[in-house]
Each structure stands twice: as structure tokens, then as C-alpha cells.
Amino acid sequence: MPEIILTDVTKRWGNFYAVEHLDLKIENNAFVTLLGPSGCGKTTTLRMIAGLETPTSGRIVIGDRVVFDSEMGINIPPNKRKVGFLFQNYALWPNMTVYQNISFGLTNIKDIMPKVSFEARVAARIIEIVKDWKKIVDIAKDCLDKKGQINKDKYHLKLIDTYTVSLMTAKKLASYCFDTADNPQEKADQAVAEMEKIIAAENAAAEKSGCSLNENYEYVKNGEVVQEKRKLSKEEVDLSVRRVSRIVKIGMFMDRYPAELSGGQQQRVAIARTLAPEPSVLFMDEPLSNLDAKLRLEMRSELQRLHLDTGSTFVYVTHDQMEAMTLATSICLIDNGVLQQYDAPLTVYNRPNNTFVADFVGNPSINFVEASCKAKEGALECKIFDNYKVIFTPNEKLDLSEWQAKDRELDEEKERRRKEQLADKHNVEKGNKDVRFKCHIAKVDESEIEEEREITDNDLIIGIRPEAVKISTKGTLEGEIYSAMPTGMETTVRVRIGDYLITGVIFGGITYKLGQKVKLNIDGDGIMLFSQRSGRFITTGTLK
Ligand code: ATP
């Protein structure tokens, strides 16, 4: 399975930049979610990789193949990129059965493939299976109905699943009636002889055309497998349909029409249809957003399993951070066309690059607390909530003034690059300018307009995940319950401290009275520190 590399990819319409200078390496066999607020450029990124949208500039490589390069004038069409799509509106064809829906695309594929004697291949498989005819008898016994009659559909499906064969082969196996024959061994011997005859005839036919058949029953000439442009055989189509149906567990619905299926089952058919041509990369654009919450959860776990079973590279667009967190091996978080972070979900959660990322992932959202800090003996002494003095101890050694200097350098570098781009006459200035994310400081009264004040190097932001807020009689911060929302498994509480609100999540269904006085601590070493000036992540630590 291939890796996907995007180098300096930009897409703009006029001076509107949907995607700006994006560098991204999607590892082989990864499950990457493209995450970000509505309109940030997720779908555009996906469509550019898939070939449905032409980038303004940049280069895209899938596996060892350059599929787009603006300078070299390469732009491979989507149907030649060996990728599969699954979109939100996955419309199945209503006048076709499930089987036809899945197989339709396969029957249209015409490609260079090895020339194969399917007759000989199937015959060899049948020989292998009937040698152990007792197992077939056991399967038949499993498919008897209450009246002792064999349920043919069930029998065929079991044969298909047990031996990974096509329906045609399953029917052939059933036709030997080993379960009812007087002398099944004799029947099996006859079947073997019949199949050997077929193989001999196919070998002879191959030799007549100057070829031989290899162990996979492919034609070989001068030591090379013969390639031909052909359609998939009925056998190959059926095998593919059965394979994917097994993966998404819809084998029993093959003859039904979409209207006779539930939403979730239809969704699985759509997934099977996408998987059938064995795409090495699968693109999905919010494929679960039409489903109800329960089904969505179920399908999420199916997708995770599917990723493992198929070994394909998955690229998945979503604006649902929970979906991105639970499914992905890596999250690519975009804002206003600019990549904010590309990391494993827990890294994004625990070490977000900036306040935007910290705010975007996590539900309930992270608490941002304004802090005025000064360095003191390897730690920071900070004033929060107007009058509380706390000590932030970083997990790693921190030289704040050195960090601030580097932070400024990064801004200067960014500004230099912007000016360089402006000077380039081919460049168009970005109309949709990046706006610096402003942290939301939760307050009881948010109606008063805050006066703009100058931010100094001492002004930092402390980020506290709700699970770090611990209500305890030994707590040192004093507040009162502003709201409490128990869901059964956990309770989300908002505590008022002076004019400020802080959100905590407490395990279990605890009942609090509004206005009740409580004490709390900020627990653990996962407390984050950000620059208030740039919003960038500084470090993690503890708060006392
Ligand atoms: P959503 O989650 O809402 O689907 P998204 O992150 O997938 O959003 P995109 O569909 O990639 O967003 O669009 C990015 C931006 O590009 C949007 O602001 C959109 O309006 C704009 N855009 C998309 N297609 C075009 C087009 N053909 N012409 C002009 N602007 C476009």
C-alpha cells in the first residue's frame, strides 16, 4: 500500500486560499483524519489527492507515482489513481440488488491483467475441497431447517464463507450432494477425475498457443506471465463481491434492494461497493454523518476493523473531533487552509501546537485561564482569577525568555516569507487572512466589553483539561457550583471562581446543588502553558 506525499500544495480561487502551502506525508497503511472547522479546506485537500480538484500549485505523489506536479504539467485523472471514494451521499442504485450494486463497478473495469485459465483454477480448488468431503457434509447438516430440509441459500453462503469461493463454485460443490449420496467417497473420486480432466484440457489449450500454466493457472510464455487487456471474469467479480460482503457482514442481503435495508445496512453496502475494486487508498468524506448517533458509533468501530482487514491507507474527512480522535492513527488539523498540527490523536490532545488546536479537540473544551507570570526558581509564579497565586512547575526545564525569543523569531520568519511571496509577481495575496485565534476565557458575565490591553511576555495562558479539575474537600481553590450536568457515566460541572467559570468532568453521576460551595484542585502534570501573544504551546507541567 502506498504512502501519499503532498509538497507545497496550494489551492486558491482568485485571492481566496482554500489550502495554503500544505506539506503532508500520509504514511503507508495510515488512517488519517482531516479535521477542522467548516470551510477550512478539508474536502478540497481530499479532492486534490483524489484528482477531483486541480491544485493551483504543488506536487502530489501516491506510492511511487507522481499524480500531480504543477511545474512538470502532470495531472493523472482520478480513475487512474487507484483510489476509492466514499461520500456522505453514497446513493445506492435503487433498481439494483445489493449484489448488483457492489458488482456493477467491477464489471466495467477493463485493465491490463494476467491471462488466466479460470476453468483450471476453479477445478483445482474443487479438487482441494472435495478431498475432505466430510467437512462439506458437516456444513450441509448445519443448514437443515426444522423439517430436515436443506436451506439452499444458507448452504451456499456457508460454502462461500468457509472456502472463500464464488457462488458458482459453491453451487457446484452443493450439486455433488455428499450429504445424501450412498457412497460419498466414490462421488468425491468422480469429482476429482472430472476436474483433473478439465485441468488437462486447459493445459493442452495453453500449450497449443505456445504457453504453459503456472501454479496460479496464469499463462506463461518465455518465463513471463502473459498480460492482456481484459475485463474481470464472472468468477473474479463474484469472488470480490463475496470478499467485501464478508468484511462488512452483508452476505445475507445480496438479493435485497436498497429500500429493503436499514440505513446502516445501506451504508455497509456503500462501503462494500467502494472496497470491491481493492483501492489501495480509500477516501472518505464524512461518510457517517447521515446516520443516527448509535449507528455512527457502531460504524466507527466497523471502519476501524475494516482498516485493519483491508490494509489500505484511509484518508477521512470529518469536522467531528470525537470521530477524528477515535478513528485516526494521525490527525491533520487545518484552519483557514493552513495546517495547524499533524500528529497522533493523543499528542494533539496532550501537546497541542497552539491554543486553536487545544480548543478544537476535547469535549467539553479545555479551560483557558489568563495568567500573569514571572520566573521563580525553575518554576513560574502566576496570578490567575484576579487574585489567586499559583506555581506552575514545568515538566521539562524551561527558560521562558529564551522561548519568547524563539517565538518572536518564528513570527519574523513568517513575516519575511509573506513579504517574499508578495514580492513575487506570480503570487496573489491571501484574501481570507489568517486571524489569530482568541481564547475564550469563560466568565459569568460575558456581556461587558473588555478593553484592549497590551500583552507582555509575562502574559501567558494556562490550559486546563476538564478532567484535571478535581473537586475535593482538600481543594485550595474555592468556588461554587454554577451548573452540573450528570449523564450517568460522568458529570460535567461548571464552577464559579470569582467572576470566572471553570469546567470539570467528574466520573460518575454526582448530584450537586447549584450555588453549593466547593473546593477544587488542578490535578496532574498535563497542565498546558501557552503564549498569550502568539498562542503557541510552551510546555506542560503541574499547578499548585
Ligand atoms: P465543510 O466541513 O463545511 O465541508 P471543508 O473544510 O471541507 O468544509 P472545503 O469544502 O474544502 O471546506 O472548502 C474550503 C473553502 O473553499 C470554503 O470556504 C469554500 O467556500 C471554498 N470553495 C470550495 N470550492 C470552491 C469553488 N469551486 N470556488 C470558490 N470557493 C470554493
Q: How far is the CA of 45 from the centre of ligand 1 (A)?
A: 10
Cis amide linkage into residue 37, ω under 30° from 0: no
The predicted structure's pLDDT at residue 312: 85
The predicted structure's pLDDT at residue 339: 96
The predicted structure's pLDDT at residue 527: 96
321 lines ligand 1 (CB under 6 A): no
Q: Tell me which residue has its CA closest to atom 14 in ligand 1.
A: 41
Q: Tell me which residue has its CA closest to atom 9 in ligand 1.
A: 41
Reply yes or no on whether the pLDDT at 58 is more than 80: yes
**Mean pLDDT across the stretch 7-12?**
95
- Tell me the pLDDT of the chain averaged across its residues: 90
Q: How far is the CA of 38 from the centre of ligand 1 (A)?
A: 8
Q: What is the pLDDT of residues 293-328, one digit of tens each?
A: 777 887 788 788 888 877 889 999 998 888 899 899
Reply yes or no on whether the pLDDT at 85 is more than 60: yes
Q: How far is the CA of 349 from the centre of ligand 1 (A)?
A: 26
The predicted structure's pLDDT at residue 127: 95
The predicted structure's pLDDT at residue 306: 81
Q: What is the pLDDT of residues 345-357, one digit of tens each?
A: 999 999 999 999 9
**Mean pLDDT across the stretch 25-39?**
93
Reply yes or no on whether the pLDDT at 358 is more than 60: yes
Per-residue pLDDT band for 55 (boundaries 50, 70, 90) equals very high
345 lines ligand 1 (CB under 6 A): no
What's the DSSP call for residue 350? Answer: H
318 lines ligand 1 (CB under 6 A): no
Q: Which of 9, 11, 16 should be mutated for ligand 1, with most atoms under 8 A from CB?
A: 16
Least confidently predicted of 56-60, 66-70, 98-102, 453-457: 453-457
19 lines ligand 1 (CB under 6 A): no
Q: Tell me which residue has its CA closest to atom 5 in ligand 1.
A: 39
With beta carbons less than 8 A apart as the criterion, state whether 318 and 7 touch. no
Rounded-to-integer distance, Cα 342 and Cα 234, Å: 43
Q: How far is the CA of 53 from the centre of ligand 1 (A)?
A: 11
265 lines ligand 1 (CB under 6 A): no
3 phi, psi to nearest 5 deg:
-95, 160
Rounded-to-integer distance, Cα 461 and Cα 451, Å: 18
Q: State which ligand 1 atom lies nearest to the alpha carbon of 19.
A: 14
Torsion, Cα 62 64 65 70, to 10 degrees, reads: 80
Q: Which of 11, 20, 22, 44 should be mutated for ligand 1, with most atoms under 8 A from CB?
A: 44
- Cα atoms found within 13 Å of the Cα of residue 69, Cβ hemisphere only: 10
What percent of the chain lies above the pLDDT cut of 70?
99
336 lines ligand 1 (CB under 6 A): no
44 lines ligand 1 (CB under 6 A): yes
432 lines ligand 1 (CB under 6 A): no
Per-residue pLDDT band for 79 (boundaries 50, 70, 90) equals confident
158 lines ligand 1 (CB under 6 A): no
Rounded-to-integer distance, Cα 127 and Cα 334, Å: 56
Q: How far is the CA of 44 from the centre of ligand 1 (A)?
A: 6
Q: What is the pLDDT of residues 232-252, one digit of tens each?
A: 999 899 999 998 888 778 888
Q: State which ligand 1 atom lies nearest to the alpha carbon of 13.
A: 29
Least confidently predicted of 116-120, 123-127, 219-223, 440-444: 440-444
Q: State which ligand 1 atom lies nearest to the alpha carbon of 334.
A: 6
**Mean pLDDT across the stretch 468-495?**
90
Rounded-to-integer distance, Cα 26 and Cα 1, Å: 11
Closest CA to 173 of 139, 213, 142, 141: 139
What percent of the chain lies above the pLDDT cut of 90?
60
The predicted structure's pLDDT at residue 173: 94
37 lines ligand 1 (CB under 6 A): no
Reply yes or no on whether the pLDDT at 253 is more than 60: yes
Reply yes or no on whether the pLDDT at 208 is more than 80: yes
Q: What is the pLDDT of residues 117-155, one digit of tens each?
A: 999 999 999 999 999 999 999 999 999 888 888 999 899
The predicted structure's pLDDT at residue 1: 55
With beta carbons less than 8 A apart as the criterion, state whether 83 and 25 touch. no
